[in-house]
Structure 1
Amino acid sequence: MRLAKTSIVLFLSSQFSTIVGFVGTFYIASYLGSEVLGTYSVVVGMLFWLYLPASAIDSAVVKRVSEGTNQEEIISAGFLINTAIALMTVAGVLLFSPAVETYVNHPVSLEIAVLIVCWFAANFASAILNGQKKVAHASIIWTTGRIIRTGLQIGLTYLLTLGVAGLIWGHTISFFVAAVIAFAINPIKPAWPSKKHFKSLYEYARYSWLGQISVQAFNWLDTVILAIFVSSSLIGVYEVAWTMASALSIISTSITTTLFPTISELSDDKRYDKVSELLTEGLSFTGIFTIPGLAGAIAVGPRVLEIYGSEYGQGGTILILLVVARLTNAYNGLFKNTINAIDRPDIGFRINAVLLVSNVILNFSLIPIFGWYGAAIGTASSATIGMLFGYYWVNQSIPIYVPYREIGYQVIASLVMVLAVSGLSKMLGSGRIRTVVIVFLAAGFYSVVLLALSTTVREKTISILSDYPYVGALL
């Protein structure tokens, strides 16, 4: 129940963050246009790749801190390593600023350099909290940063007309604030590390670095390659579709983040039966939003995208493919998370290698031929391949019991929802407000049907709500 509640807190926090992010993306897409959104997305995509070395250290910090020993020294060692990486990255960006600005098609190398420092700091601070099982705290801080980012970006671009630079500065300041808050609430004080603490991080990071590359390849490889072959405006439409697809995977991300430290602790105690049980429960809920999201994308995808503007409706097929990518990657993310938590980074290395190689080959092969459709197909295909290999290799370590019945209930509820949405769409007509109404009504239909079908979902919902006095009285 504690894990369920933490997942709910993460979900609600992430959901609110998504709403705020929607407002920000809607503003950029509608007011500044798809070209500015596309340029900004390329900058962010490039930064994720620059963050890769530090992200491997962050994942190692989460794992080692979650083990509960030498936490002070581990945090200090991670801080020193990531500081060195950040300084080298900043030096590289400033040294090769002409090439950087040519690639992103905007003179913002200085802004990018400052953003790198704050980006690294915020992610490291979040890793410390996640390692201490303070994942809810980290999520709330991240959401606070998102609110600040959106407010600043709107203010800097609308009031001061700073354009792309204003979007980057809003991003930078929000990360700075998030880092300060996260470090402030961290109860662990640093202690000078020894060689063994650096080695401990290295032993984990030498495997996890590939995992970080595969994650960033899934999230941003298509974008950085598209920047070479298609216009910034098409990238802007693509990123709107990606943002919408990503919003559907919030609950799966919450589950994965919540389960990691607990599975890690159970693994240290050799309680693999409990690990298998938690994995099965995680699989029951991973697609609970993404499955109906896929059905909705097929039924009314172009219409929903046109909320951002009429030019975004052309991304309907892209949206369907990217939702498929998000769905299969969500299940694979849970598999990889379990493998890393039971301290089998060697197997995680294999899973990530398959995902990365397939992603690189498919995107580099398909994008030059099919443009943005090639990017979406390559991303969806590589995610599906990664999921299948992830299932196989995890099953070699611990037994996996796939909850086919629960997933089937989600599919049935989604089909009922689509029938309702199709009728509502014709009845209500076009328009942004009407489209939003349809989306909320569709979510209501799906929820009611799923609660009626699934005993697991119904019991879990009631048990969580019963702990709140006013709701519990009604139940």
Structure 2
Amino acid sequence: MRYGRTSIIHFLSRLVMSVSGFFATIALTRILGQRQYGTYVVVLSVLAWTTMAAQFGLPQAIRKRVSEADGGNYVYAGAILQFLLYVVLAGCLWIARPYITDFVGIDAAPVVIAMLGVRLALRFVQVVLDGQQLVHVSSLLIPVEWSSRSIVQVSLVVSGVGIAGAFAGYVAGATVAVLVGLYFIDVPRTMPARDEFTSLRSFAQFSWLGSIKSRMFQSMDTLVLAVFVSHSLVAVYEVAWNLASLFAIFGSSIARTLFPEMSGISANSEDTSKIAGLLRVSLAYSGLFIIPGLVGSALVGDIILTIYGDGFRTGYRILLVLTFARLLYGYSRQFLSTIDALDRPKLTLYINVAFVGTNLLLNVLLTWRFGWYGAATATTVSSAISLAGGYYYARRLVNVTVPIGEISRQWLAALLMAGIVVAGRTLVGDSLPAGIVLVAVGGGVYFAALTALSEEFRTTVDDNIPFDIRHRWDG
């Protein structure tokens, strides 16, 4: 796996982010309480949607055009367009201030405007670095942001500032990451021409719906839930979602790492065989962590959720559904990333239309009828549709080879892990310390079993660690 080390750097960065966020979330839920934490989550959902509207497909366009390295100054052009979009959205938020206050329950518009500014700046820095094939640098901004955010949030909340401390920490973390990332960006010396703006627009006009799709997958259910259920249940749902997202980190890392490589190949050659090979690699490793995560959640998820507080155990079944949705979406993302890398955003537009329409309709209908189970089901069904559409269109562009054997070995290793965890839970009981030990043991069993079962996995590990272990596999 040629790009394994970059993927691993991104994965480890996201893992550090998740760990820091994990402990920060525990502090916030226990100090603020479920209701106030739920309010914080709702504000983040509003921010997420305004961020999506203020981007309008621009980040995907910047990443694509910068990765093509055709000499154009897409950095300045992208920055100018992004700033103009921010000004428009900030004005809209200020006008809508009374409505936002009614929906959230607090005067959140000024907070959202400040958070929107730093969020857009950080996203811009990340996609420019990705396009310049500095994914490893872009990846390191993630733990920088989350670690800074967590430190400030916990410090302020513990000192008695309350929910305002959570918002201040968000702004501080993103600001620190932006300043670090700007240092590494290579900015062309020429001023952008009209062609650069036109080129960005030509890609963004198709990719904007992808932003909506991603945002709907991330937070549409949270927004709809805020209408039908209490903020306390929203907090439980969000915690379950965050745990499910933790398992999906590596698949996301694969897609983000391989996109600029695929894009560069596509821009300079008509031969798609290498892109097809990279797609197979991404599919083979997309489920590396989330498959055992799903199995493990079914076995000890109810125990692990209690770390946030006794009331969070009710999210056990939701955790299972959302983790499965994450699994489907992870495979879907590999196909759509490949299609975009081949500069066919119109095809991803078709897929995203189907996803957005299905997700919006089902979220409203099923959440109204079945509560949070309906919201989780809507996310899962939409993910399945996206996966089917991505597979269909990717096959029209490249020779898709689904690594069924490798994926099957991951499931087999997860089932072997399950046997050990079930036996262990029978012996040690249902306490939280016992659950944490079972998670650690289960992870060790899974990777040991996969190492024994999969020659491809052994080769990948051997190719991407900083020392030679071939003799260990052979001996």
- 1:432, distance to aligned residue in structure 2 (A): 2.3
Segment of structure 1 superposing worse, 281-290 or 191-200: 191-200
Question: 1:18-417 counterparts in 2 under 5 A?
Answer: 18-55=18-55, 56-71=57-72, 73-159=73-159, 161-189=160-188, 191-268=190-267, 269-417=269-417
2-structure distance, mates of 1:473, 1:405: 25
- 1:146, distance to aligned residue in structure 2 (A): 0.6
Q: Residue type matched to 1:294 in 2? A: L
Q: Which runs of 5+ in 2 are unaligned?
A: none
- 1:105, distance to aligned residue in structure 2 (A): 1.3
1-structure distance, mates of 2:2, 2:188: 26
- 1:383, distance to aligned residue in structure 2 (A): 0.5
- 1:190, distance to aligned residue in structure 2 (A): 5.4
2-structure distance, mates of 1:321, 1:149: 29
Q: Residue type matched to 2:367 in 1? A: I
- 1:70, distance to aligned residue in structure 2 (A): 3.0
Identity %: 33
Runs of 4+ in 1 over 6 A off after TM superposition: 471-475
Show CA shifts across 1:135-171 (max 9, x none).
1101101211110000000011111x22222111110
Q: Which runs of 5+ in 1 are unaligned?
A: none
2:183 aligned counterpart, secondary structure: helix
- What's the TM-score, normalizing by structure 2? 0.96
2:288 aligned counterpart, secondary structure: coil
Q: Residue type matched to 2:261 in 1? A: T
CA contact (8 A) 1:121 1:179 kept: yes
- 473 and 451 in structure 1: CA distance in 2 versus 1, 3 angstrom threshold: closer
Aligned length: 471
CA contact (8 A) 1:77 1:198 kept: yes
1:51 aligned counterpart, secondary structure: helix
- What's the TM-score, normalizing by structure 1? 0.96
CA contact (8 A) 1:76 1:190 kept: no
- Residue of structure 2 in register with 1:454 after alignment: 454
Q: Residue type matched to 2:229 in 1? A: V
Q: Residue type matched to 1:233 in 2? A: S
- 1:303, distance to aligned residue in structure 2 (A): 1.4
CA contact (8 A) 1:75 1:128 kept: yes
Q: Residue type matched to 1:371 in 2? A: G
2-structure distance, mates of 1:320, 1:367: 17
- 1:191, distance to aligned residue in structure 2 (A): 3.6
- 1:473, distance to aligned residue in structure 2 (A): 9.2
Segment of structure 1 superposing worse, 379-388 or 239-248: 379-388
CA contact (8 A) 1:347 1:393 kept: yes
Show CA shifts across 1:272-316 (max 9, x none).
001001101111100011111111122222112112111111111
- 1:31, distance to aligned residue in structure 2 (A): 2.4
2-structure distance, mates of 1:352, 1:399: 22
CA contact (8 A) 1:108 1:165 kept: no
- 1:197, distance to aligned residue in structure 2 (A): 1.0
2-structure distance, mates of 1:92, 1:207: 24
2-structure distance, mates of 1:44, 1:2: 37
2-structure distance, mates of 1:184, 1:105: 39
CA contact (8 A) 1:75 1:190 kept: no
2:381 aligned counterpart, secondary structure: helix
2-structure distance, mates of 1:23, 1:158: 13
1-structure distance, mates of 2:362, 2:65: 35
CA contact (8 A) 2:296 2:418 kept: yes
1-structure distance, mates of 2:355, 2:361: 10
Segment of structure 1 superposing worse, 86-95 or 203-212: 86-95
